[in-house]
């Protein structure tokens, strides 16, 4: 066989090619960490906290050591917020609705009527932060100011989208009562104001959930409280976190009556549909927040018929789950009776998620203060599962 010049040049590299080959290092292997991977960070201890304790196995929730049922029965949201922020129980502690800064009102006016109320609330907090410029580290005074103005801002947006005048805050009322007054323009029914205050207490704190973790991550970068709460609102907006009470209302309306519950529930389970208001990532017992809110709902005179349906449907769901899924512990969660309370005080369903955010602001800000005191950047690792190291093709040759 005769060897041509082209054959020889392609098979035998010249001096320049040999030099380049010698200079190029061999790709390094991808070295994987031997740390365990936990999807969604499930079970990973990412913080130490003295704020709240969630005991899923035994169905307990403690704020600074106090059981949630006792806090709902004996406390107010103002007292509970102060407890979360400072660790002290102050009988005289109050939170009252605050005046909305003018630039926040201007921003609310610019939002289109179809804006989701969660987006409106996030915008209000963002504009408040741009105006107020809260410094790092976050403080209790910053938390009090934010928590006091946010309900006024949400109520103002709700009025604006209906073409109604904004109602100024009545600082003789509680934060919950003032929120109802600013929504409707009428003095709130005392029982409704107390019921909403109880909902605020129940919603104030719940460990290292997705929105609270988001808040702590942002604060860990030494960002400000407004930025952290905006991020938390964004996390809470997701349907896997903060939207379930509204879906419970739709579900109960679809069921219609206790007599239809058995057939509806069995068909839903057969289809693999999720029954809203049941099951929880943490609790393996009856959610203590649901128990506390059920007592509140039972005390609301105007809720008798709707609550009677909810209670009877709950009994049917729990019985059928026990029959069809005996190996799965599925109990009532907080969203089920949150729906009863929020509907009972007259809130439209699209205000349920941002009202949850109003309640959770006390917990978010408490965690922000605690995270800042630790002053440790939250920066977990990720396991790389992509391609091995390789050279970029030389497209010029």
Query: What's the CA gap between 332 and 315, in Å, rounded?
Result: 10
Any domain includes 395: no
Reported as a single tens digit per residue, the pLDDT across 185-237 is: 999 999 999 999 999 999 999 999 999 999 999 999 999 999 999 999 999 99
Q: What is the pLDDT of residue 5?
A: 43
Q: Is the residue at 57 inside a domain?
A: no
User: What is residue 23's predicted lDDT score, i.e. its pLDDT?
Assistant: 59
The reply to whether 222 and 317 lie within a common domain is: no
Supply the pLDDT for residue 301.
72
Q: Is 114 a catalytic residue?
A: no
Q: Is the dihedral of CA 104, 105, 106, 107 positive or negative?
A: positive
Told to judge if 280 belongs to the known catalytic residues of this protein, a careful annotator would answer yes
Both 195 and 328 in one domain: the answer is no
Contact 164, 182 (CB under 8 A): no
* 16 within domain boundaries: no
CA-closest candidate to residue 340, choices 305, 316, 368: 305
With a CB cutoff of 8 Å and minimum separation 6, the contacts of 185 are 159, 164, 167
> Looking at the structure, do residues 150 and 264 belong to the same domain, yes or no?
no
Distance, CA of 168 to CA of 181 (rounded, Å)? 9
Sign of the Cα pseudo-torsion (201, 89, 176, 224, in order): negative
pLDDT of amino acid 12: 52
Does 250 lie in the same domain as 216?
no
Answer whether residue 190 is part of any domain: yes
- 111 and 212 part of one domain: yes
> How confident is the model at residue 358, as a pLDDT?
98
Tell me whether residue 300 is exposed, middle or buried, using C-beta atoms within 10 angstroms of its C-beta: 0 to 12, 13 to 18, 19 or more: buried
CA-CA distance, 32 to 382, in Å (whole number)?
10
What was the pLDDT predicted at 8? 44
Exactly one of 82, 205, 314, 335 is catalytic; which is it? 335
Instruction: Answer whether residue 58 is part of any domain.
Output: no
Nearest to 360 by CA among 202, 227, 138: 202
Q: What would the pLDDT profile of 376-387 be if each residue is shown by its tens digit?
A: 999 988 888 899
Statement to judge: residues 232 and 253 lie in one domain:
no
| Same structural domain, 108 and 228 | yes
Q: What is the CATH number of the domain that holds 285?
A: 1.10.230.10
Query: How high is the mean pLDDT in each 10-residue block of the chain (397 residues)?
Result: 44 52 69 76 85 89 95 96 97 95 94 94 97 96 97 97 95 96 94 94 94 97 98 91 79 88 90 84 80 86 77 90 83 87 90 96 98 94 88 83
CATH (domain of 170):
1.10.580.10
The C-alpha atoms of residue 190 and residue 201 are separated, in whole angstroms, by 16
- Same domain as 208, residue 142: yes
Asked if the structure places residue 50 within a domain, the reply is no
Q: pTM of whole model > 0.85?
A: yes
Note whether 102 and 194 are same-domain residues. Answer: yes
| CA 14 distance to own-chain centroid | 65
What's the domain range around 227? 95-240+354-374
Whether 160 and 290 map to the same domain: the answer is: no
Judge if 227 and 275 occupy the same domain: no
Q: Which member of 82, 205, 206, 280 is catalytic?
A: 280
Q: Helix and strand tally (H, E) in the chain?
A: 17, 3
Q: Let me know if residue 297 belongs to a domain.
A: yes
User: So what's the pLDDT on residue 1?
Assistant: 45
What is the pLDDT, as a whole number, of residue 329?
Answer: 78
Unique residue bearing structure tokens 């239809």? 260
Domain count across the chain: 2
Task: Output the pLDDT for position 182.
Answer: 97
Q: What pLDDT sits at residue 394?
A: 84
In terms of domains, do 195 and 224 share one?
A: yes
Residue 88 resides in a domain: no
């Amino acid at each position: 066989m005769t060897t041509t010049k082209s054959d020889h040049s392609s098979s035998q590299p010249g001096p320049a090619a040999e030099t380049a080959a010698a200079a190029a290092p061999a790709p390094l292997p991808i070295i994987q960490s031997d740390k365990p991977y936990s999807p969604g960070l499930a079970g990973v201890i990412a913080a130490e906290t003295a704020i709240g304790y969630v005991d899923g196995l035994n169905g307990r929730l403690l704020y600074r050591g106090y059981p949630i049922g006792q806090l709902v029965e004996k406390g107010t949201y103002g007292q509970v917020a102060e407890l979360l922020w400072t660790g002290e129980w102050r009988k005289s502690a109050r939170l009252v609705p605050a005046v909305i800064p003018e630039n926040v009102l201007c921003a609310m006016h610019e939002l289109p009527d179809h804006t989701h109320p969660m987006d409106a609330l996030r915008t209000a907090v963002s504009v408040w932060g741009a105006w107020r410029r809260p410094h790092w580290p976050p403080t209790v005074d910053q938390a009090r100011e934010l928590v006091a103005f946010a309900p006024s801002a949400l109520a103002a947006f709700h009025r604006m989208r209906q073409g109604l005048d904004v109602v100024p805050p009545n600082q003789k009322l509680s934060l919950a009562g003032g929120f109802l007054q600013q929504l409707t323009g009428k003095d709130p029914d005392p029982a409704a104001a107390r019921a909403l205050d109880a909902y605020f207490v129940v919603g104030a704190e719940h460990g290292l959930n997705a929105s609270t973790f988001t808040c702590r991550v942002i604060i860990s970068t030494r960002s400000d409280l407004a930025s952290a709460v905006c991020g938390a609102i964004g996390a809470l907006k997701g349907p896997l976190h903060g939207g379930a009470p509204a879906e419970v209302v739709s579900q109960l309306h679809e069921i219609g009556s206790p007599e239809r519950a058995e057939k509806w529930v069995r068909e839903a389970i057969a289809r693999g549909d999720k029954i809203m208001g049941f099951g929880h990532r943490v609790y393996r017992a009856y959610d203590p927040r649901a128990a506390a809110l059920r007592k509140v709902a039972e005390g609301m005179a105007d809720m008798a018929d709707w609550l009677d349906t909810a209670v009877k449907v709950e009994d049917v769901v729990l019985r059928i789950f026990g029959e069809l899924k005996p190996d799965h512990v599925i109990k009532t969660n907080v969203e089920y009776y949150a729906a009863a309370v929020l509907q009972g005080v007259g809130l439209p369903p699209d205000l349920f998620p941002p009202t949850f955010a109003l309640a959770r602001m006390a917990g978010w800000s408490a965690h922000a203060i605690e995270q800042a005191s630790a002053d440790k950047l939250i920066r977990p690792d990720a396991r790389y599962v992509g391609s091995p190291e390789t050279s970029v093709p030389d497209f010029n040759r």
